Amino acid sequence: MHRVVVTGLGPVSGIGIGVDEFTDGLRRGRSAAAPITSFDASGFPHRYAGEVPAFRPAEVLRRVRVEQWGRSALLAAAAARLAATDAGLPLPLADPGRAGAVIGTTSGESTVVEQLVADLVAGGYPSMSVDSLRQAPAERLAYAVSAELGLAGESVTLTTACSASNYAIGYAYDLLHTGEADVMVAGGADSVCRWAHAGFFRLGALTERQCRPFDRDRSGILTGEGGAALVLETLDHAVARGARIYAEVLGHGLNCDAHHMVAPNEDSIAACMRLALDNAGIKPVDVDYVSTHGTGTPANDLCEARAIRAVFGDRVPPVSSIKSMLGHTMGAASGFGAIATTLAIRHGFLPPTINWANPDPELPWIDPVPNVARPATVRVAQNNGFAFGGNNAITIFGAIR
């Protein structure tokens, strides 16, 4: 069995594009929240989201043609290109069949599908664009990464909603750990779209302007978008090519609540944490920081906090939610959490939970690293990802030793 390490990071986010900008955004507690521009939101009472207005795919991508892909695929491919550049991967790889891509998503290319439906309603089937129909399948997200980087190994898109990036990291970890691959690009991508915004609004889960995880007065999520990619390699492969190593992937855990379509289950989440810790070969006392799912809804944060208490007991480490800065980037969310966790280990700081004002008396054990990043020695960190359908996925990262 092979040890697995992180050698490259590729964030395309509303608080920064590229690892340096993203790190600065985390340290400063920058917010991506702004009025929606991706679609006409004038009919909604809540009109803010965490978009990436600075994204210019043609400035990042080298191989794929921008006009042939939907926005989510472009976010995935651009994140992968940034991660590969950050990792110093020698492209084209000597053995591209030993390298692959696993990308998670919630909405896939829903912005493309929405436009196709609008065209269909307006003018019937003849009005539907053939080019748009080609862009619509969700599996093209991983394909875009493989095409951009010339990877000929497994190319998989996982659609386990808001925990999908952690599923992708776990899938890639397993391929590397068992020696089936040398290099994998893993993460997630999603775009701000009307149906997700409308769906969360109808569920009563959407806040107006600020996401405030673990605050007493939290009221819901902001939808968001972005692409998050990590280059993962076997330790032997990374060392052989002289790569800079950010951190080690220690393990992961997956389970399903099998309980309710949208309501989280405390016991199942706690069980997933224990699975991840056991897979990583560590104990709760070893964990220095938890990057939470932290959506900012009353139900999620209470359930997650109670599950954390059940696992960690009286020694609950500091936690934070970067959704307070990015919004909920759906399938990319735990990918951004993994990047933030890796940076916390590498650079010795805890990302803050911004917009936090009032402690929740129901969660007295939670230290949310309120509003300001905090210097800290982070040896081991846990990255939580949960999703509708009860799909829980948790990854564990550690300082390289």
Q: Is 293 a catalytic residue?
A: yes
The 10 Å CB-count burial string (b at 16+, else e) for 153-169 is: bbbbbbbbbbbbbbbbb
Distance CA 12, CA 155 (A): 20
In the block, tokens 């092979």 appear at 2
DSSP 3-state of 350:
strand
SS3 36: coil
Tell me if the bond preceding 53 is cis, omega within 30° of 0. Answer: no
On whether the CB atoms of residues 296 and 326 are closer than 8 A, the answer is no
Encoded tokens for 82: 């940034």
Asked if residues 25 and 371 have their Cβ atoms less than 8 Å apart, the reply is no
**Annotated catalytic, 259?**
no
Question: Cα(65)–Cα(140) distance, rounded to whole angstroms?
Answer: 13
Instruction: Return d(Cα 111, Cα 40) in angstroms, integer.
Output: 12
Closest Cα to residue 342, out of 286, 397, 282?
397
Cβ-proximal residues to 40 (8 Å cutoff; 6+ apart), any chain:
none
Name the strand (E) or helix (H) holding 133.
helix 130-135
Q: What is the DSSP letter of 1?
A: -
Strand partners, 234: 4
Q: Is 272 a catalytic residue?
A: no
Please choose, from the candidates 36, 8, 35, the residue with its C-alpha nearest in 3D space to the C-alpha of residue 22: 8
Give the torsion sign (CA, 289, 187, 67, 38): negative
E strands, 152-311, are 155-158, 183-190, 226-234, 247-256, 289-291
Query: Among 46, 162, 193, 197, which one carries the catalytic annotation?
Result: 162
| Angstrom distances, CA of residue 57 to CA of 38, 104, 172, 393 | 16, 19, 25, 29
Among the listed residues 211, 237, 293, 303, the single catalytic one is 293
CA distance 231 to 317: 27
Q: Which two tokens stand for residue 191?
A: 């775009």
Residues involved in catalysis? 162, 293, 328
